[in-house]
Structure 1
Amino acid sequence: MARVSQEHLDARRRQILDGAARLFARNGFHATSMQDVLKEVDLSAGAVYRYFSGKDELIAAIVKEVLGEIRAAFEDVTRQSPPPPPDILVGLVLGRTLRVWSSLNGDGEPLFPRLMIQVWAETMRNEELAAVLTDVFTELRERWMLAVEAYQEAGMMRSDVPAEHAARTMIAAVQGFITQQALFGAAPVEVLQDGLRALMSMSAARPGA
């Protein structure tokens, strides 16, 4: 019997992950069954279970891949010192991640934001996923802190604000924007960038002071 190439195995695994991600984003983790996944990817149970033992393993694989993409994007855009300004940095990271996961549908549906909402909710009951998410959040917070410190050293950002506070705020801004997209529909990343620029342009002086 002819051996199956690694390229074929990787493509089949990719097919299963992409199909499951579409279903999870549209219907949620708990409303999606393995039978739904089999139908979506048009494969037999044996073909799918060769790669994943069940829905929980599928969910874990997708979550790790999503978070890995965010980590990789952030690493790529923070190689220079100082990094690009916060509005540019956020746009590059979020824009790249949205493009990667939106391509699964090809119809402009905000797949990534809806998937992230499901991930955040799932971590409330799944300790393994909660641990993965915590590790990634901790790493991103530390990377953002390094970026903030580089901004401060370059005179681009005020130095009397703790780096961790600024880092948490930038992460919160991205999470909030993702949530808005999931709840209210797609919006270009430029909306978030423009808002950040406006906030960054404010003077510390109060009117009439």
Structure 2
Amino acid sequence: MARVSQEHLDARRRQILDGAARCFARNGFHATSMQDVFTEVGLSAGAVYRYFNGKEALIAAISQEAFSGIRAAFEEASRATPPPTPDVLLGRVLRKFLEERIPGADRQAFARLIVQVWAETLRDEWLAARLSEGYEGMRAAWGELVTAYRKNGILHADVPADHIARTLIAVAQGFIAQQALFGDAAVEILEDGLRGLMSMEAQSAS
């Protein structure tokens, strides 16, 4: 019997994860059955169970990819020289991460999937730990970026780097939540809004 190549195994795993992600984004984690996943990916139960032993394993794998992907996207973008301003960086990362993330699904579907993952962390300690790791990693990456802004003379306000980092993470999370709930949050709106806020000048007290 011919040995199945690693490339084939990886492609099959990707097929299953993408199909499961579409199901979860469409119907939610708890309303989706394994039979729904079999139908979506066009594979038998045995073929799917060869890679994942159940729905919880699929949720864990998709969540891990989401956490890792968001963190990696921010870290990659933040390594640019000179460092991109927050409007450019957040726009670049969110556009790359949300658009066409799930083959055959729109970006609102992926945003909904992210929000579901956040909700699952409230009941799943493993997911909560992965989310915490990703959050701390993003705080560190943004903290380094704030330091780079100061070195390049871009940022002058004497505000702790971690405070800025946490605020920008909150902006990204809020954008994803808007996209999930309302579906009309184009990345350009976020970029323009941040650019407008960045143009404000603090007025000294009289």
**Shared topology, TM-score over 0.5?**
yes
Output the amino acid matched with 2:104. N
2:178 corresponds to: 180
1:105 corresponds to: 104
1:32 corresponds to: 32
Structure 1 ranges of 4+ moved more than 4 A: none
1:76 corresponds to: 76
Q: Distance in 1 between matches of 2:160 and 2:107?
A: 38
The SS at the match of 1:101 is coil
1:95 corresponds to: 95
Q: Distance in 1 between matches of 2:107 and 2:76?
A: 26
Q: Distance in 1 between matches of 2:49 and 2:13?
A: 10
Output the amino acid matched with 1:110. Q
Output the amino acid matched with 2:124. N
1:150 corresponds to: 148
TM-score normalised to structure 2 length: 0.94
- Where does the alignment leave 5 or more consecutive residues of structure 2 unmatched? none
1:18 paired with 2:18, answer yes
- Summarize deviations over 1:69-117 as a string: whole Å, max 9, x none: 2122112211134411111011111111012415x125x3512211111
How far did residue 5 of structure 1 move?
1.5
CA contact (8 A) 2:34 2:55 kept: yes
How far did residue 188 of structure 1 move?
1.9
Q: Distance in 1 between matches of 2:107 and 2:81?
A: 35
1:2 paired with 2:2, answer yes
Q: Distance in 1 between matches of 2:79 and 2:30?
A: 39
- Where does the alignment leave 5 or more consecutive residues of structure 1 unmatched? none
The SS at the match of 2:140 is helix
Residues 204/159 of structure 1: CA separation in 2 closer, same or farther (3 Å cut): closer
What is the 5 A alignment of 1:118-157? 118-157=116-155
Q: Distance in 2 between matches of 1:168 and 1:194?
A: 20
TM-score normalised to structure 1 length: 0.93
Residue from 161, 164, 168 that aligns with 2:162: 164
The SS at the match of 1:32 is coil
Cα RMSD (Å) of the superposition?
1.6
- Summarize deviations over 1:137-177 as a string: whole Å, max 9, x none: 00001100111121122221133111111100000001001
How far did residue 186 of structure 1 move?
3.8
